[in-house]
Structure 1
């Protein structure tokens, strides 16, 4: 699709052919009800308040659904709003220079499968350690690096807190995830309005190859999770973060916690912007079930493997990981 300098690629009356997915991949239930069974967990609660301990709530959600939302999480609203605003500025720029490493994906370069494009624009870059990779981030808008750095510092604190709560819930020793869980990747997405969302997808169904993923979606919907064999919409709650269990945490928990499929569908009228941050082990980290969770009655369900071996089996993520390692060496 040719883009005119005065118009956006998505300013069209009909979905172009190379954005139309095969019928078997097209979303059939875009208007499915919001899933009210995805828990919303108040991290300010404690047993002393007479509420359910958030540790118990997080563990239950991670075992049964693999998704939950957190509120009263401690990240200042101003920091989150600044991050969303600077990303809006980035996606609104008429010309986005693609880094030599190719981490900015426009509609013409964002392939899903068999030559079909995703209906989105995507910005991906490494995050850890910030001082070593900040030079790979966009230089425009000029405040991007400062704003996103502040955001990531807060995300690291929150992710460490959530993993410590999961560790407690599983019966692992305190600090089990310390040193093996860093916010290593940021993936921001713009999903513009689509003439016919039933033909397109923002992101294909997938599981995350992370420990956990934290997603901020503001007040925009579009995220769907697979629950009981059906795609259901995840509601958008103001100033909440969606947290989902990744494949690595499912392995470490020996299958007690669930990494489930999710996708993003498009909307006819609304624009969706989201920020996903992936909390991953280091590439050389050995991922295997925690020894205290393995016994004669519950033998290990997974083979020990380095994290980099795991992601290399995931082509899209593996290609990115190789590019990331090469870039950080330069």
Structure 2
């Protein structure tokens, strides 16, 4: 199919005579899927007792899991279904077309696929994605349906992220004004993900193990499954919930909360016969935003978001992997 990225071509040398090598991916079958903490956000608008209880559930999940699911989140099923249809359509464009510089009229490197710099089987990634900062969405004037659907999604999920961040900040005595000063719609971004069928599944990743370089990430995944997170030293699969959005803590919030909140390592395992779609919203600050906890004793050095991104880029180029917050430990 002309829309599939040339995975076999870029991974050819790595794959030759190497498929009998154990790359260490132990996948969970559906009976081993875990139930993430499920939080009903409608309780926030009920009585004082229900609101306090809901806030405790959110902060508790962030402390113990780093992941949770939310329902009654304000994003309609109709909008989510429309977004999935638009994703399917845009990813069905010929590879030569969607990988060209001017596709969707987005900045260079908005479209990304696989891991062309992989040097071993553990670094193989079987996925493609469109990364877009929210201000860039307005540039997609030749794709009005996709643009309007993404704008509608962003207009709902952005205030949801702010609401969750405000609750989490309050629980660790961080003033919400910090986020108001350092974050905005112009600093956050969306990523549309597609995980094509992989003939070598479940041997390879759709998305490599990593933590998110954000304060907070909100994800809508389809019902295929494949998202896994590290919990108590073991990989557990996140059971899809058609009514829920998945929320996870990012590295910046772990650092800002002095390690109180967990930025959990997670990954996506490739599927053999079906494709998987998801969309992620990353709540990020400006490049010059200072990440510094005021809780004592401090676990992490003071750093800016720009310094964190630069260090991550260096590590990826040098080692093929993101090292993350351990670079900034005191």
What TM-score do you get using the length of structure 1 for normalisation?
Answer: 0.81
| Contact preservation (8 Å) 1:222, 1:234 | yes
CA apart distance, 1:31? 2.4
Partner of 2:109: 102
- Aligned partner (choices 134, 137, 143) of residue 134 of structure 1: 137
CA apart distance, 1:180? 2.2
- Aligned partner (choices 39, 42, 54) of residue 41 of structure 1: 39
CA apart distance, 1:8? 4.1
Superposition RMSD in Å: 2.9
* Equivalent position SS for 1:263: strand
* Equivalent position SS for 1:303: coil
CA apart distance, 1:64? 0.7
CA apart distance, 1:317? 10
Aligned equivalents of 1:188 and 1:22: distance in 2?
32
CA apart distance, 1:111? 3.0
Q: Cα–Cα, structure 1 residues 120 and 300, in superposed 2: closer, same or farther, change >3 Å?
A: same
Note the residue ranges of structure 2 that are not aligned, 5 or more in a row: 103-107, 318-330
CA shift digits 1:99-146 (9 cap, x unpaired)? 361221245xx436317642111111212xx2xx23555x56442222
Q: Superposed, which structure 2 residues align to 1:99-178 within 5 Å?
A: 99=101, 101-107=108-114, 110-111=115-116, 113-114=118-119, 117-127=124-134, 130=135, 133-134=136-137, 137=140, 141-178=143-180
Bigger helix share: 2
Note the residue ranges of structure 1 that are not aligned, 5 or more in a row: 320-330
CA apart distance, 1:199? 2.1
* Equivalent position SS for 1:273: strand
Q: Cα–Cα, structure 1 residues 23 and 112, in superposed 2: closer, same or farther, change >3 Å?
A: farther
CA shift digits 1:190-247 (9 cap, x unpaired)? 1122223122111111111100111110323111000111111011111311111111
Aligned length: 299
Q: Cα–Cα, structure 1 residues 22 and 54, in superposed 2: closer, same or farther, change >3 Å?
A: farther
* Equivalent position SS for 1:162: helix
| Contact preservation (8 Å) 2:288, 2:305 | yes
| Contact preservation (8 Å) 2:211, 2:265 | yes
Partner of 1:322: none
| Contact preservation (8 Å) 2:217, 2:280 | yes
CA apart distance, 1:76? 2.4
- Aligned partner (choices 239, 256, 266) of residue 270 of structure 2: 266
Partner of 1:314: 312
* Equivalent position SS for 2:179: coil
Partner of 1:67: 67
Partner of 1:252: 256
* Equivalent position SS for 2:212: coil
Partner of 2:237: 233
- Aligned partner (choices 188, 207, 210) of residue 206 of structure 1: 210
